[in-house]
Amino acid sequence: MKISVIGSGYVGLVSGACFTEFGHSVICADLDDRKIEALNNGRIPIYEPGLEQIVTRNSAAGTLGFTTDVEDAVSKADVVFIAVGTPSRRGDGHADLSYVYAAAKTIAKAMTGYTVVVTKSTVPVGTGDEVERIIRETNPAADFSVVSNPEFLREGAAIEDFKRPDRIVVGVEDERSRAVMEEVYRPLFLNQSPLVFVNRRTSELIKYAANGFLAMKITFINEMADLCEAVGANVQDVARGIGLDKRIGPKFLNAGPGYGGSCFPKDTLALAKTAQDYDTNIRLIETTIAINDSRKRAMARRVIAACGGDVRGKTIAMLGLTFKPNTDDMRDAPSLFIIQALQDKGAIIRAYDPEGMEEAKHLLQDVTYCNSAYEAADGADAITIVTEWDVFRALDFPRLKDIMVQPVLVDLRNIYRHDRVEDEGFTYHSIGRP
């Protein structure tokens, strides 16, 4: 089957590359000349484990191509996926759908023969209806269907998630497009991955509901961590104790500095705005957003307290900048808020992240970027672990103690045990543990 993907960002590139693994022929189209040039030269613009190998292999085989000629890509396709960005709109927090609607107009002008147009981007309820209206208005003679097919990819594990998904949600309004989507995902269906067909609006809401629920789960365990500290309990034991309940499950119960990334912040906000538009209260989501926003800066206060209540003129080594490991994504990363709050109090910041520093340079000022955790810690008054990269899980504490001004470790991801660190002569602070 011939597939075109409009948008070669995270979702579009991963989806397009993985579709070629199923035997489909894919063209990824994007208006960004530099991105397409890089991809055609074998350079991957994002960091995602395993992606470079798939792109290289299928580009060489001729089943995966990249172009800036969006209309040409659309004209050759049986199925066109819209995978453009839907960031939070400035001013009101609604999802910005301008890129989606622009893609719809381009598709309408270029499609030939029956075409299934699929919104892969995360979009509010009713977006598919508007995409259908735009295409119909732009090209009244077009033969097409509009389908919703939200992505559920975890950054850092996207390839595995695409090839072995928990479920594939497809929102359709006619049997003709359903048959096409069954063929698109036939290889996964044969592997018994659940293929869930619903109507289009339900599909759009499933994505937001899923992310909203997971964001609440993270926020819940973070609040439990605060309570654990107050009463002398251990949040990791609490998480394990409740996570063994199959109705709850163990995932997303790791206490930390709050959620960030490309999905949860904007999707929870868009979900809350959608509910407001339909005069429906979803106070749990609204409260989740407020708690998470305040928690990020609250983590800076923990660092300040660990440094004796004052960080003016002191050097803080920040280990990890991205919102999670195995990605270079800095969008709404807790580190951004923590570093800014520490700088507001006069702290000097030295930072190291295995993949995120180039992106961080566009978002943070007056930060010294280092080549290792040890370079960042040299002369530091405290170390703060913000992102749980594997490289931070076996630090050489005697070496760190020798190069630091004060042996203080603030572990915002609970990757160490108190006794292990304190036996090395460090003052240790973690989240939700006595």
The three-state secondary structure class of 179 is: helix
User: Please, which residues bridge with residue 410 across strands?
Assistant: 384, 429
| Tens of pLDDT, residues 335-352 | 999 999 999 999 999 999
| Mean pLDDT, residues 248-271 | 95
Active site residue 263: yes
Tokens of 148: 């919703």
122: closest CA among 305, 265, 290? Answer: 265
2: closest CA among 113, 149, 138? Answer: 113
Return the pLDDT at 91: 72
| Tens of pLDDT, residues 84-115 | 999 988 777 789 999 999 999 999 999 999 99
Return the pLDDT at 189: 76
Report the half-sphere exposure of 349 (CA within 13 A, side-chain side): 30
Which segments of 268-309 are extended strands (E)? none
Asked whether residue 139 carries a pLDDT value surpassing 80, the answer given is yes
Percentage of the chain beyond pLDDT 70 is 100
For the chain, what is the mean pLDDT? 96
| Mean pLDDT, residues 306-325 | 97
252: closest CA among 324, 318, 202? Answer: 324
Same fold, 2-198 and 208-434: yes
Burial (CB < 10 A; 0-12, 13-18, 19+), residue 293, is middle
| Tens of pLDDT, residues 175-197 | 999 999 999 999 987 777 799 99
| Tens of pLDDT, residues 24-66 | 999 999 999 999 999 999 999 999 999 999 999 999 999 999 9
What class does CATH assign to 208-434? alpha beta
Return the pLDDT at 262: 87
Return the pLDDT at 94: 87
User: Measured in Å, how far apart are the chain's first and last C-alpha atoms?
Assistant: 57
Asked whether residue 238 carries a pLDDT value surpassing 80, the answer given is yes
Residues whose CB falls within 8 Å of the CB of residue 127, separated by 6 or more in sequence, listed in order: 97, 100, 119, 148, 204
Domain residue spans in the chain? 2-198, 208-434
| Tens of pLDDT, residues 353-402 | 999 999 999 999 999 999 999 999 999 999 999 999 999 999 999 999 99
Q: Which of 18, 28, 263, 370 is catalytic?
A: 263
pTM to 2 decimal places: 0.92
Q: What is the CATH number of domain 2-198?
A: 3.40.50.720
| Mean pLDDT, residues 209-222 | 98
Return the pLDDT at 89: 85
